Amino acid sequence: MTVYVLVAAAVTLAAPFAALAGEPIGWPVIWSLLSHFILFGIIVILLVTLKRRLSDEAAFVATDALTGLLNRGSFIMRLDAELARAARYGHAFTLAYVDLDNFKAVNDLEGHDAGDELLRRVADVLRSSTRQTDILGRLGGDEFAIVLPETTGGATGSVLENLRKQLIRTMAEGGWPVTFSIGAATFEAPIDTSREALQVADSAMYSVKRSGKDGIRYVVWDGEPGPS
């Protein structure tokens, strides 16, 4: 944007100064300069407005319309960036996969409006229970994911257990018979792709589903082809 403003200034103001060089200062000169300054101001306003609109459109494309969290594509892009950062600096991070148990029953019994409100409430809890540096996304339907940079071991367990408690409390307040199956994987060694990382966390989540739902399964990736 700064480059565009400088170009606009050069184009708008260079001409009158060049044309008026050596001319005596009078009202015609003053009016010419003033009109060009006004034109320059209009150009700047238009450029700022364009930048804001493009920024708003980019944010709209990147987020899930219902919850305001990152949509699947944007989340995966951010996850890719975290994978690259972690590999470059040798840092560990945790990826959590959150799936709602019995969500279909809410849609079937109370309607899709109630289901949408439930999903919005879940997103609110995710935002309030995590840090600004964490990455939150709705992968689709009733599935959410969280990237927790620099979070390992006991800290991961504390964060996820607190998150689950907050989610359960929110469901009780809404009268919704929904619980949460959460799979979390801490990556202590580099993993090649975000797809593989999601598979590891997703596999941990499904182990909770197979064990009766409503719980947390935590695994550590150390470079082996499956959860450890």
Helix (H) or strand (E) holding 11: helix 2-20
Is 113 part of the annotated catalytic residue set? no
Catalytic residue among 64, 99, 101, 142: 142
DSSP track, 32-72: HHHHHHHHHHHHHHHHHHHHHHHHHHHHHHHB-TTT-SB-H
Q: pTM value? A: 0.73
What pLDDT was estimated at residue 26? 61
How deeply is 171 buried, as exposed, middle or buried, from its count of CB atoms within 10 A (0-12, 13-18, 19+)?
buried
Quick: pLDDT tens for 81-133. 999 999 999 999 999 999 999 999 999 999 999 999 999 999 999 999 999 99
β-strand partners of 146: 96, 136
% the chain with pLDDT above 70: 72
Looking at residue 17, what is its pLDDT? 54
Torsion sign over Cα 19, 24, 25, 26 = negative
